[in-house]
Amino acid sequence: MNKKNIYIGVLIFLVIIITSGFFYYFQIRDIFGDDPVSKFLGIKSKLFIFENMNESLSEEIANGFEGQFDEAVQYIKEDSNDYLGWAVAGANKKAVNDYYGAEALYLEGLKRIENNTVLYSNLGDLYYHFIEDYEKAEEYYLKVIEFEPEIKSAYSLETYRELSVLYRVKFKDEDKAINILKFGLENNPENKDLLIYLANAYTKFNRNQEAKQIWIDLVATYPENDLYKKELEYLN
């Protein structure tokens, strides 16, 4: 074999190697998204790439969200079984209108921390107010209540209110809007916030006598509260 044929053979071999390398690189990049944290955690998606989708935000504000996002991602890398990193990272994606990116983060967090009511609540809020998938919003709000029927945090309290409003405004279902608050009171009988939510729901459905009775009870229990007295006067 002459030198020319040897050179040609070597050149073809190098082209094959280089081409294979590029193919392998782009295949891996498509899976992991050029993202070292995803590789570290073994996640096959671009979860940890920050992209501002809200053009109305100033660069300074967007950079602030990105900085908080990067801190949350570092927190996830240090402890992927703590819900806080997933919740904060998702919240910062939501803040720049990357709603499906936030959804993916919350769902990935739930794969690692099952039945976390904060992540369930965040998904309910995301589906209700941003993605506007009301069936999924109901599903995740109900999961919060299923695993935390007794109010232990602002998340679980707010979930009762949000779910009642969802039933009233989007589903036009009076029974569900009222009954979810009654269920909350069965598990939290002395919670005045739930009583106020129920009184307001009754008023929205023109069930003023039932609303009035709640305000009477609240005024009797909290006679120093002038706001409760005004609500009662409004219904008289």
Of 73, 67, 33, 72, the C-alpha closest to 52 is 67
Per-residue pLDDT tens, the chain, 236 aa: give them: 454 444 444 333 333 333 344 333 333 333 334 556 666 666 656 899 999 999 999 999 999 999 999 999 999 999 999 999 999 999 999 999 999 999 999 999 999 999 999 999 999 999 999 999 999 999 999 999 999 999 999 999 999 999 999 999 999 999 999 999 999 999 999 899 999 999 999 999 999 999 999 999 999 999 999 999 999 999 98
Contacts by 210-218 with C-beta closer than 8 Å and gap 24+?
Answer: 211/235, 212/236, 218/192
Greatest Cα pair distance, the chain, in angstroms, is: 108
Give the start-end residues of each E strand in the chain: none
Domain ranges, ordered by start, for the chain: 33-114, 115-236
Q: In the prediction, which pLDDT does 39 show?
A: 63
**Residue partners of 145: CB distance under 8 A and separation at least 6:** 156, 159, 160, 163, 180, 183, 184
Q: In the prediction, which pLDDT does 22 show?
A: 36
Cβ pair 168, 150 in contact under 8 A: no
Q: In the prediction, which pLDDT does 121 show?
A: 97
Does domain 115-236 match CATH 1.10.10.10? no
- Token output for 27: 């295949």
Using CA atoms, how far apart are residues 191 and 184, in angstroms rounded to an integer?
9
Q: In the prediction, which pLDDT does 236 show?
A: 86
In a 3-state reduction of DSSP, which class is residue 236? coil
Q: What is the DSSP letter of 129?
A: I
